Amino acid sequence: MRLTWVFAILLGLSFFTYMADASATINLQPNSCKILPRATRSPAADCKYESGDVKVSGHGSDWASAFEDAVTQCFEARRARFKAYRGVDSDIETSELLIDSCVNLTCS
C-alpha cells in the first residue's frame, strides 16, 4: 500500500510522456513555455537535484522520463534514510509527505 502512491505518480508521469510524444512537445522545464519541434529534442536528458539530505541524477530519453527517474530515486533515498534513522518503514502519511517533497523538486 505504501508504494501505491509512488506507482500512481509514476503512472501519471508515464501517461504525460505518452501524450507529449506527438509531432511537437511542450518543454516542461521551470520558467519555460516553449513548444519545441521534434527535431530539436535531445536524444537523452538528465535531471539533477541536490538538497541537504539527497542527491539524485535522473536519466531518460526525454525530460519527462529523466524527471520521473529523479523523483523515484529521491523517494527511495528519503524512504531509506527515514528507515535508517527511525528503524521502521514509513507509514502511509509519512510516505505521502516524502512523495510530495520529491515531486516538487526542480531539476538543474
Q: Output the nine-digit C-alpha cell for 102.
A: 520529491
Q: How far is CA 42 from CA 27, 32, 62, 81, in A?
A: 12, 16, 7, 34
Check whether 96 has a pLDDT greater than 60: yes
Report yes or no on whether pTM surpasses 0.85.
no
- Grid coordinates in use for 45? 536528458
Q: Tell which wins on pLDDT, 40 or 101.
A: 101
Residue 94 has pLDDT above 90, yes or no: yes
